């Protein structure tokens, strides 16, 4: 158990002393960029899915006829 506590305490010390944290304004800006690209990627994925669904439905309707 001592090893676990020592590991956690060393990890927190590492985070405090050796990690370079970005400025809050940069974090906010990059969060917005990630959110916008996530939404755009989700819309693009949805659009491609709709196109393929309609194409497959048309193909199978064509085969039935």
What's the whole-number mean pLDDT along residues 10-19? 92
Rounded CA separation 23/29 (Å):
10
Structure-token match 């809050």, residue found: 24
pLDDT value of residue 51: 98
pLDDT value of residue 65: 76
In the predicted model, what is the mean pLDDT of the chain?
95
| Phi/psi-derived region of residue 57, left when phi > 0, alpha when psi is between -120 and 50, beta in every other case | alpha
Rounded CA separation 54/15 (Å):
51
What's the whole-number mean pLDDT along residues 7-34? 95
pLDDT in tens, 36-59: 999 999 999 999 999 999 999 999
């Amino acid at each position: 158990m001592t090893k676990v506590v020592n590991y956690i305490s060393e990890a927190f010390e590492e985070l405090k002393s050796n990690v370079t944290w970005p400025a809050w304004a940069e974090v906010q800006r990059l969060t917005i960029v990630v959110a916008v690209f996530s939404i755009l990627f989700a819309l693009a994925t949805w659009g491609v899915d709709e196109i393929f669904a309609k194409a497959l439905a048309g193909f199978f309707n064509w085969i039935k006829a």
